[in-house]
A and B are shown apart, each in its own frame.
Chain A
């Protein structure tokens, strides 16, 4: 016993297959490379399977025959580790199914929202694309070459927020026409004008999320896939709690229907640019929801996080293990792990990322527990009933707002210009735009 331990350490066998040498440590078990990659992909495939059941195309309404629709998903690609690994696993899944002679399980559009570019204030072209030289565009070329099967898109944040999709989607042209509905006018200004790094980061993140949902709806996708790992979801939970959005947490962290009222077509409609230029099937509701009741089912969008059961450090390892490694594709993480120079330049998200990097290292199960716990909270402010925040689109918390008045010494009736432009804001967005 003692001998074998000290003299032949390479004999440490993988605890799962018991054949190959264990070279990795997965959840305090020695495992081999193959078992590890399988472990990660199984976690993802399981979630994709669950989503597949929820998005099963309906049987054709007239006559028999097999279901005609295809599942269509949108993947939000940040060019970071998690979303890239998710993309890789989805590709692997499609290839696996094809190799078995089955149909393609889903169509995938991969969308990168470019938050670094700012669209010119007067858009000369109705469908502005990213400037040709942006770094994101370059990266996406590499992705495209790597995964030729999928459609890749790169949209600046301001463009992506308006419902007008590129002309390539004639069958789903529900938004007002692009010319009369200028690209989201506030995004560029609000991301740059919001005071602190924390506020900028918060506004950008929520607008990006909103843009992804808008685009997913506009492109007729049944689900938006996000690459959040267990760790990212835990960070998100605590970060949103720290930004005062505890009420909306279940909508942000859980898998399930996206917040209603996110179809920004409605914002355009409400602005009085004429209701007649839509496709006419319920544009007149004008309640800010934008979704005509008739196409509610069609516009039902799910948001899923297929990597919710994998830790970030596991995804980082995974990215380096597959052949060829994904590390070449992935954009270097902007937040270096160096010492904090100034807290003024940090965002709440960065604080959380630093914190959880440590917790993940020492107490991985505690990290997993956070996301799981939040999943048990009830989604309040459900479809139809409540109003949504004009910025992040999450449900407003009337009761909470009522109770809270005065606790911060907030001056009553200090109607900020932002509030009037965007409609009512939730507590969290108010913090990021006013405070």
Chain B
């Protein structure tokens, strides 16, 4: 039997079965097609403009390494005219960053890009090791994620860069979509799917050029391009709840490889269906948001940990929802009348008093402002990083006493 030929060039032997759609490709065609698809994403979303200075959020892991490599290649091939810089965050986790930062340093040489490393200690006065010492291993990923997001932005600001690209891949985005459906968080669902986050208000724009790239293909690309990356999970992550969304996505991918992209597509489409208001029509909104971690960022946790919710959080949310249900039992008719009015458009059904009541009290829309302490964009008076820091610092004071 003749060996299968690459279905693209039809001359070379097919060596790779694409995880995305099971197409059989040769090595060269796979690499070209992978790059072309990222180029297509960049083009169609108009991510960059010529002369733009772009920081690549680099962890030394596969995603950011592939991102750096692809961007360098495309920048040269298609003449984007970008000035690329590697930006790394040192969370201060011993044994985790020491090695991966070495990788990033080598990458900087390999790709001939300047590198900037920003530490949590210089930004917040706390390393992650110290945070874990204080609050324990449970829930520390929230701290890490919140701190990291700001860290990248602040690092970029230090360098005078207004655009940070991150290595979030299709699996990450799909996971976030499912996670937010499970959490019932429409606001974040609509935010998380967009390729660019941060609007004119925020000083630093963020984008994910690998949004449509499969994690498996990123690994394949790194492998076949013989990229130098560091593969280890965050040493604290095994303690965290293995997010059910991620497990679910892996299963779906096995059943139907395109499922990941299909979820991304669904997420994008659903984002357009989210009514332009706070999803909760319930007045006790504050109560709810106390449970759902109101992270400012679209994707929680750290890079290897995206969207994973600690088990305790899921249980706590379940409990809170159950309590809400018992409270809502009394008001369910009003809620239904209003929501039916909206959904069915049958205005004659809702009592005028009720509907006007509903709109006047109106679900409050999240208004983006800036944190009073650090100036970072936030919908609250004080941003989440500062809130978390406040808690940490209180604890530290007590310990010292």
Contacts and interface: CB of A to CB of B under 8 A. Distances in A.
A406 B319 CA distance: 43
Given A343-B254, A365-B321, A376-B275, A348 B265 contact: no
A338 to B, nearest CB: 15
A153 B256 CA distance: 35
B261 A400 contact: no
A376 B177 contact: no
Contacts of B44: 403, 406
- Chain A's interface: helix, strand, loop or mixed, by majority? helix
A193 interface: no
A242 B262 CA distance: 6
A427 interface: yes
B182 A246 contact: no
B88 to A, nearest CB: 30
Interface string A288-321: 0000000000000000000000000000000000
Given A238-B181, A363-B314, A404 B272 contact: no
A249 interface: yes
A359 B181 CA distance: 13
B267 A246 contact: yes
B330 interface: no
Nearest to A380: B273
A358 B182 CA distance: 13
B26 interface: no
A407 B41 contact: yes
Contacts of A347: 255
B318 interface: yes
B244 interface: yes
Nearest to B268: A400
A365 B315 CA distance: 10
B313 to A, nearest CB: 11
B13 interface: no
A348 B336 CA distance: 31
A31 to B, nearest CB: 14
Nearest to B34: A409
Q: Which of B212, B254, B269, B318 has the most CB of A within 10 A?
A: B269
A351 B266 contact: no
Interface string B272-307: 111100010100000000000000000000000000
B396 to A, nearest CB: 34
A408 B258 contact: yes
A297 to B, nearest CB: 14
B258 A373 contact: no
A104 interface: no
Contact of A245 (B40, B266, B321, B325): B266
B33 A409 contact: yes
B137 interface: no
Interface in A322-362: 343-344, 346-348, 351, 355, 358-359, 362
B178 interface: yes
Contact of A428 (B186, B262, B344): B262
Interface string B307-330: 000000011011101100100000
Interface string A390-432: 0000000101100110111100000000000000000110010
Contacts of A431: 256, 258, 262
Interface residues of B, number: 54
B121 interface: no
A165 B395 CA distance: 73
Nearest to A28: B322
Interface core residue of A50, A351, A375, A380 (most chain B CB under 10 Å)? A351
B367 interface: no
Contacts of B212: 407
A355 B248 contact: yes
B259 A243 contact: yes
Contact of A355 (B20, B251, B261, B275): B251
B219 interface: no
B184 interface: yes
A363 B266 contact: no
Interface in B314-368: 314-315, 317-319, 321-322, 325, 336, 339, 343-344, 349
A68 B181 CA distance: 44
A179 interface: no
B381 interface: no
Contact of A348 (B178, B255, B274, B339): B255
Given A343-B251, A407-B40, A246 B318 contact: no
Contacts of B37: 407, 409
Contact of A247 (B183, B258, B273, B339): B273
A52 to B, nearest CB: 13
Contact of B261 (A256, A351, A408): A408
A366 interface: yes
A242 B325 contact: no
A432 to B, nearest CB: 9
B255 A343 contact: yes
A102 B102 CA distance: 81
Contact of B265 (A199, A254, A363, A400): A400
Contacts of B343: 250, 254, 256, 375, 379
Most buried by B among A197, A246, A346, A407: A246
Contact of A435 (B21, B244, B266): B21
A365 B20 CA distance: 34
A269 to B, nearest CB: 28
B261 to A, nearest CB: 6
Contact of A365 (B254, B262, B274, B325): B325
9 cross-chain pairs, A with B, having the tightest CB-CB distances, nearest first: A246-B266, A244-B262, A365-B321, A373-B184, A247-B269, A363-B318, A343-B254, A377-B273, A241-B266
29 contacts: A237-B181, A241-B177, A241-B181, A242-B252, A242-B256, A242-B259, A242-B262, A244-B261, A246-B265, A246-B268, A246-B270, A247-B266, A247-B270, A249-B266, A250-B273, A250-B343, A343-B255, A363-B314, A363-B315, A365-B318, A365-B322, A366-B182, A375-B339, A376-B275, A378-B274, A378-B275, A400-B268, A407-B265, A408-B20
Interface of B: 20-21, 23, 33, 37, 40-41, 44, 177-178, 181-186, 212, 244, 248, 251-252, 254-256, 258-259, 261-263, 265-270, 272-275, 279, 281, 314-315, 317-319, 321-322, 325, 336, 339, 343-344, 349
Given A403-B44, A408-B20, 6 more contacts: A238-B182, A241-B270, A242-B252, A346-B255, A365-B325, A373-B185
